[in-house]
Structure 1
Amino acid sequence: MGTLALESEDVRSDIYLSLGLKELDKGVVGIPRVLSLVASLLERSVQRNEMLLEAKQVKDVVTVFHGLRAPSLSISKYIDRIFKYSGCSPSCFVVAQIYVDRFLQCTEVKLTSLNVHRLLITSIMLAAKFMDDAYIVFNNAYYAKFGGIITSELNRLEMNFLFSIDFRLQISEESFGKYCVQLEMEAAEALQIERPMQACRSKKAGPKDDSTCASTIAR
C-alpha cells in the first residue's frame, strides 16, 4: 500500500511528480516540494485561526496537544526535521494533513501555534506506521526524541488522536489525489499574489507607480 499506487498511470501523475511524491532516482538528494506546501498550508491556517480567535476574544478548546507556549521552531523547519530523521516517504506528509483535518472535524479544536507541532508529529508518525510498508518505521521513543517531547507524552497523544478520529486511518486513492490537487492549487494562488508583490518591491517607484502596484495586487 505504501505509496498508494503512485506508480500507476493516473491522471494526477504529473502532480505527484511535481510534489516529489514519486520515488527519486538513487543518488538524488533533495527535499520534496510537498513539504514546503504542507507547511505553508498549515502556517496560513494557524494565522487565520489565531486572528479569528483574537477578533472574537474567545479561547480555543484546550487539549493534550496544547502547549503552554508556542515552540520557537517554525512549522516549516519542524516538518523538515521530521522528514530528515524519520526517513518516512513524502506521501506520509499528505496523509498526515488528511489525518489532521479529520481530527479537527471530529473535535472543536482550532489549529494554532500552541497545538500544531504536537498534531504534526503525531499524525506523521501514524501515517508512517500505516503507510510505509517499504520503509523503516521507528518506534515512538525515536519519534519523541527528535520531535522534542517525551515518549510517555507521545504515547498519550497517539491514543488521543486515534480515538478522536475513531481509528479511521484508511485513505482512498481518490482522497489522496484530491489533497494533492488542492496543494498545487493553493501553491499557484500564493504565487499569483507573491509575484506582483515582488515586482513592486523591486521597483524604485514614486507615488504614481505605488498606485499601479496596489491595483495589481488587488486583482
Structure 2
Amino acid sequence: MGLNSMQFISDMETLSPDSGSMDSDIYRTLGLEELRKGVFRSPRVLMLLSSLLDRSVQKNEMLLETTQIKDVVTIFHGLRPPTVSIRNYVDRIFKYSACSPSCFVVAHIYMDRFLQQTDIHLTALNVHRLLITSVMIAAKFVDDAFFNNAYYAKVGGVSTEELNRLEVKFLFGIDFRLQVNVNTFGKHCYELEKESAGGLQIERPIQACRIKENWSSKDDSTACSSTIAR
C-alpha cells in the first residue's frame, strides 16, 4: 500500500459520517485496510464494486434495447462481450496487479467521471476495458509501486499498444482530473457499502476475456475480442 493510500486511511479516521465522509468502520468493512494488516484475502470492496457494475450494465443494456437511445461507440467497445464475469475480472486484476484495495474505489470514481464526460453507457462491450484502464491509472496515482503498461495489458487480456491507446483516451476523457478528495472518496465508499443491501449479486454469463500466460488456467488461451473503434 502506497503513501497516498496510507494518507487516505489517516484522513478517513479523522472524519465522521456526518461530514459526508467514510468513518473507519466503513473503511474496515470494505476491506480497504486488510493489506496493511497483513490479511491477503479478497477485500469486500471487490464484490460490491462488481455487483454495482454488473447491475449498471444490465440496466443500461435494457435501456438501450427498449428505447431509441444509441450508445456512443468508442475504442473501449469490443466486437463482442468477453466471456469472463465482471466479478472474476475484478478478482483477477486484484490478484495479479497487487494494487491496494483503495485503487478500486478510485478507479470507480474515475469511471464515473469518464462516463459523465463522454455520455457513454456502461455495457458488457466496454466495462472490462474501462476497468483495466481505470484501475491501472488509479494504481499509478495512489500506490507507490506499480507495474508498467505491458504487465497490466497482460493481466487485462489486451495488447500493450491497445492499453496505451485506452489510457490516453481515458485521461483526455476525464480532462486529467486524477485528484480525489476525501469527501468524494468517502461518498463512493458509502455508495459501495449500500450495494450490500441491494440483494444478491447477479452475474450474467457475459463471455470471457481470456489471456494466454503462464499463470492462466488451461482454458485461458485467447485474448479479448477486437474493439469496434480504434
Please classify the TM superposition score into its range, dividing by the shorter chain length. 0.7 to 0.9
- Higher normalized helix content (fraction of residues): 1
Query: Does the 8 Å contact 1:3/1:132 carry over to 2?
Result: no
- Greater Cα offset, 9-18 or 146-155: 9-18
Q: Which has the higher contact order (CA 8 A, sep 6+)?
A: 2
| TM-score, normalised via structure 2 length | 0.79
In structure 2, C-alpha distance between the alignment counterparts of 1:86 and 1:45, rounded to whole Å: 25
Counterpart of 2:87 (choices 65, 73, 76) is 76
Structure 2 counterpart of 1:183, one-letter code? L
In structure 2, C-alpha distance between the alignment counterparts of 1:122 and 1:82, rounded to whole Å: 11
Query: Does the 8 Å contact 2:35/2:100 carry over to 1?
Result: no
Query: Does the 8 Å contact 1:88/1:128 carry over to 2?
Result: yes
Counterpart of 2:185 (choices 148, 168, 176) is 176
Query: Which position in structure 2 is the counterpart of 1:143?
Result: 152
Query: Which position in structure 2 is the counterpart of 1:17?
Result: 28
In structure 1, C-alpha distance between the alignment counterparts of 2:6 and 2:188, rounded to whole Å: 15
Query: Which position in structure 2 is the counterpart of 1:2?
Result: 5
Query: Does the 8 Å contact 1:3/1:131 carry over to 2?
Result: no
Query: Which position in structure 2 is the counterpart of 1:127?
Result: 138
SS at the partner of 2:179? coil
Please identify the structure whose Cα radius of gyration is greater. Answer: 1
Shift of 1:27: 4.9
Distance 1:113 1:3, change over 3 A: farther
| TM-score, normalised via structure 1 length | 0.83
Counterpart of 1:104 (choices 87, 98, 115) is 115
SS at the partner of 1:2? helix
Shift of 1:59: 3.1
Instruction: List structure 1 segments (4+ residues) > 3 angstroms apart after TM superposition.
Output: 7-10, 23-27
Question: Residue by residue, what CA displacement relative to the aligned partner does 1:103-160 show, whole Å, maximum 9, x if unpaired?
Answer: 0000121000000000000000000000002xx3000000001110000000000000
Shift of 1:184: 1.1
Shift of 1:4: 4.0
Aligned residue pair count: 191
Distance 1:131 1:25, change over 3 A: closer
SS at the partner of 2:198? helix
In structure 1, C-alpha distance between the alignment counterparts of 2:7 and 2:54, rounded to whole Å: 26
RMSD: 1.8
Question: Residue by residue, what CA displacement relative to the aligned partner does 1:18-72 show, whole Å, maximum 9, x if unpaired?
Answer: 0000144655330000000000000000000000000014431100000000000
In structure 1, C-alpha distance between the alignment counterparts of 2:29 and 2:167, rounded to whole Å: 31
Query: Does the 8 Å contact 1:144/1:154 carry over to 2?
Result: yes
Query: Which position in structure 2 is the counterpart of 1:202?
Result: none
In structure 2, C-alpha distance between the alignment counterparts of 1:99 and 1:24, rounded to whole Å: 22
Q: Which runs of 5+ in 1 are unaligned?
A: 195-219
Shift of 1:75: 0.4
User: Identity across aligned pairs (percent)?
Assistant: 64
User: Does structure 1 residue 157 correspond to structure 2 residue 148?
Assistant: no
In structure 1, C-alpha distance between the alignment counterparts of 2:25 and 2:102, rounded to whole Å: 15
Query: Which position in structure 1 is the counterpart of 2:194?
Result: 185
Q: Which runs of 5+ in 2 are unaligned?
A: 17-22, 203-230
Query: Which position in structure 2 is the counterpart of 1:29?
Result: 40
